[in-house]
Amino acid sequence: MSDNNLVPMGSKSFEDLMKVNEFGAEYWSAREMQPLLGYTQWRRFEDAIKRAITSCKQSGNISENHFADAGKMVDLGSGSLREVADYHLSRFACYLIAQNGDPRKSEIANAQKYFAIQARKQEISDVIAADVERLELRKQTAEEFKALSGAARQAGVHDKMFGVFHDAGYKGMYGGLGRDEIKKHKRIPEKENLMDRMDTTELAANQFRMTQARDKLARDRVRDQQSAIRTHENVGKEVREAIKRIGGTLPEHLPPAEHIKQVVKRVKSTAPKLELEEKDAKGLIGKSEEE
């Protein structure tokens, strides 16, 4: 997958939206970034921008170099124009906004993964880049698991039946195997969390299953426990069939990955600082006249 397609918005991607200012520095319009990151209301997106500005200051960087107030003229449809608030954002600012956005939004989750990898390509090996991607996906699946549990409760699933509900999704996707059976099949210790032993491919497939199940419960207005359980199992089956159609490895045949705790340790040992190099720290200012 190319970098240019990691955060798509129709035919536009993050890199497509890049502009160059009078200083020769690349920048992005916050108004154009807003839909790319899944925000329909400017007010909520601006909240994420303000949190990012605070994060920028706390990391020891000059926020004015990365976030610049900029008015934008919009057509009101009657031939008249009105100026609305906007920001010019450096690449680092976009990274911070993604980190301070709502992780429940798939667009934000994709952006976090994109920037987590892009921000470190210059300084880490391919192995660590793969680790970063897996950690981001593991974080996203944890968030999606919580969101799906909330959707299940709204659909009528009682707390004591949550295990059955989540197992139904696994059974549909793993050819009839529930969580405990999957761990036994893959020889994963009983006390370990199954998702902590999934590789990137398996995590992504399960994240997709949970996202689709959550959306279908809401779309079909499911309101009884048994229907919710059947819905989750059927979504799991559909994901399994999709994997078959594209020739992918069925999830029960994927070997267990290294425990996520080991990945965390490895990434932490090479964790980058948010203190930027001089060139990047200048952000929107670009090159000085002396350079």
Alpha-carbon distances, residue 113 vs 109, 133, 138, 175, 195 (angstroms):
6, 6, 11, 30, 18
Render pLDDT for 151-210 as a digit per residue (tens, 0 to 9).
999 999 999 999 999 999 999 999 999 999 999 999 999 999 999 999 999 999 999 999
- Which is nearest to 107 in space by CA: 155, 156, 35? 35
Residue 3 pLDDT exceeds 60 = no
Render pLDDT for 36-94 as a digit per residue (tens, 0 to 9).
888 999 999 999 999 999 988 887 888 898 999 876 666 666 666 777 789 999 988 89
Report the sign of the C-alpha dihedral through residues 221, 226, 229, 233, in that order.
negative
- The torsion angles phi and psi of 75, rounded to 5 degrees, stand at -85, 125
CB neighbourhood size of 184 (10 A): 12
Write down the pLDDT at residue 288: 47
Residue 272 pLDDT exceeds 80 = no
Write down the pLDDT at residue 79: 67
Q: Where exactly are the structural domains of the chain?
A: 3-123+272-285, 128-269
